[in-house]
Amino acid sequence: MNHLFKKIALTSAPIISGAFVFVSCEQTVVVQEEQEKTYKLFLTTPEWGDVENIKTTLQQQLNNKLVELKSKAKVEIKFTNDTDYATLKENLNKQEADFAFISSGSIYDGRNQKQDLDKLNLKLQSLTRKLKGSDPEAKYQENNNPLFASASNQETYFKAIPWSEQWNDKANGNGWNGAIYTNFYEMNNYVPYQRGLIAIVANEQMTQDIIQAWNNKDLASFIKFGIGIGKSDSGSKYLLPQALFKKHFNKAGQEFLSFDEIRTNTKKYPQATLKQAKFTESQLEKNNDLHIFFANEGEYTWTKFKDSKQYAFAVNNSNPGRTGQKITFLTVTDVLPYNIGVFSKNVSDKHANDISEALIKLASENKDPWGPSVGFNSYKIINDSKTEFWDVVKNTLGE
């Protein structure tokens, strides 16, 4: 019997305002009684399946797990299409929501709002399956860049079967399971990060010119080929490529500063073309002037082939501006943590742990009806947000 329990056992225990108070001649011990509480979880709307059934099933299963964990926490699920930090942060701070998964790019974009961030608890790291050919340890290096090797390996898998209806063939396709093409993944190997992909859409000569400009760190030449970028809070399509450019284009007097500078400083970069455009929209005629695109690493693995997307990852030779061109994976970027499960300060540490453990157990038992539909295959507890999130972000983005 431990020392504290001896003190408790030898005293009377009047109940005062929901707490147990134990008094001894040495000290007074107050043990707060855990209160039942229902928390609102804002989760991304599933990309496939019966949405209402998924919500009902997930809510029931999570609450059952919480009972198994002997927790007095309960959850109520609400689906949303918003993973934007600014919106969800407001929901969390106003206590309209108690938990949400927020993209790392959005959290990083709100980093200057330190006071607001301090009100939130970065608790749960989502995990996704590892892509075949990728190197989890790969980081940018000046020479013998392993990021190039990962991109090249993934391109080999990507081109093994041309983007077509054959990808959906059950016997000879890429293993579509309703959410992803499984042939591209190590199905039982999970990683806590995302990367960006820089892809080239050009003919052979232009492709070689783009690669040469990259290898020579010739920023002015590289950007004149036209770049399709994402929104400024996009991790894979803006923040990660921008961080990679800062590391790579570092010649004295020609240093890359930001995409904003390239867009606005027309005197310094008169031939630059940067505009928002998706890799999957490279074959639209309005994007014929773009030959470099930023994308999510592996985004073709969760995009099911269908007629309306027949040129999402293939060249449309009926478009005169794309005739004779091809797709090449130039490089992947450094890592950024995958979406983060964030609790409001309205949730006690114990209940945050309980809810997190319940999600983890569902995933480990292959009973999570929601996560795989949004790319979350497992989860892990964040014990130290500084080392497990902010330091990773700093190492990649340099800020």
Q: Are residues 227 and 346 in the same domain?
A: no
Q: Are residues 113 and 8 in the same domain?
A: no
Provide the residue type at 148 as one letter: F
Number of structural domains found in the chain: 3
| 363 located within any domain | yes
Closest alpha carbon to 107 in 116, 99, 95, 98: 116
Provide the pLDDT for residue 110.
59
pLDDT for 147 beyond 90 = yes
| 182 located within any domain | yes
pLDDT for 278 beyond 90 = yes
Provide the pLDDT for residue 350.
96
CB 333 within 8 A of CB 243: yes
pLDDT digits (tens, 9 = 90+) for 153-202: 999 999 999 999 999 999 999 999 988 999 999 999 999 999 999 999 99
Provide the pLDDT for residue 28.
57
pLDDT for 29 beyond 80 = no
Provide the pLDDT for residue 1.
43
pLDDT digits (tens, 9 = 90+) for 58-75: 999 999 999 999 999 999
Q: Partners of 77 in the beta sheet?
A: 41
pLDDT for 129 beyond 70 = yes
| 353 located within any domain | yes
In order of 16, 110, 249, 362, the CA distances from 230 in angstroms are 57, 17, 20, 34
Q: Are residues 173 and 275 in the same domain?
A: yes
Provide the pLDDT for residue 108.
77
Q: Are residues 151 and 100 in the same domain?
A: no
Q: Are residues 291 and 252 in the same domain?
A: yes
151 against 31, higher pLDDT: 151
Q: Are residues 152 and 287 in the same domain?
A: yes
| 135 located within any domain | no
| 126 located within any domain | yes
pLDDT for 84 beyond 70 = no
Mean pLDDT of 32-43: 86
Four-residue CA torsion sign, 82, 86, 88, 94: negative
Q: Are residues 316 and 235 in the same domain?
A: yes
Q: Are residues 281 and 364 in the same domain?
A: no
Mean pLDDT of 229-258: 93
Provide the residue type at 330 as one letter: L
Mean pLDDT of the chain: 89
Q: Are residues 383 and 314 in the same domain?
A: no
Mean pLDDT of 358-379: 95
CATH of the domain at 121: 3.40.190.180
Q: Are residues 227 and 296 in the same domain?
A: yes
Q: Are residues 307 and 200 in the same domain?
A: yes
Closest alpha carbon to 234 in 148, 138, 336, 313: 336
Of 310, 332, 354, the residue at which a domain comes to its end is: 332
pLDDT for 334 beyond 90 = yes
Provide the pLDDT for residue 103.
85
Provide the pLDDT for residue 11.
34
pLDDT digits (tens, 9 = 90+) for 2-26: 433 332 233 334 433 444 454 555 5
110 against 14, higher pLDDT: 110
Q: What is the pTM of this model?
A: 0.84
pLDDT band at 89 (very low <50, low <70, confident <90, very high): confident
Provide the pLDDT for residue 174.
98
pLDDT for 116 beyond 80 = no
Which residue in the block uniquely carries the two structure tokens 């928390």?
A: 39
Of 332, 351, 378, the residue at which a domain comes to its end is: 332
Of 332, 352, 376, the residue at which a domain comes to its end is: 332
| 375 located within any domain | yes
145 against 283, higher pLDDT: 283
DSSP symbol at 330: E
Q: How far apart are CA 291 and CA 284, in angstroms?
A: 12
Range of the domain at 18: 3-32
Mean pLDDT of 368-383: 94
Q: Are residues 104 and 234 in the same domain?
A: no
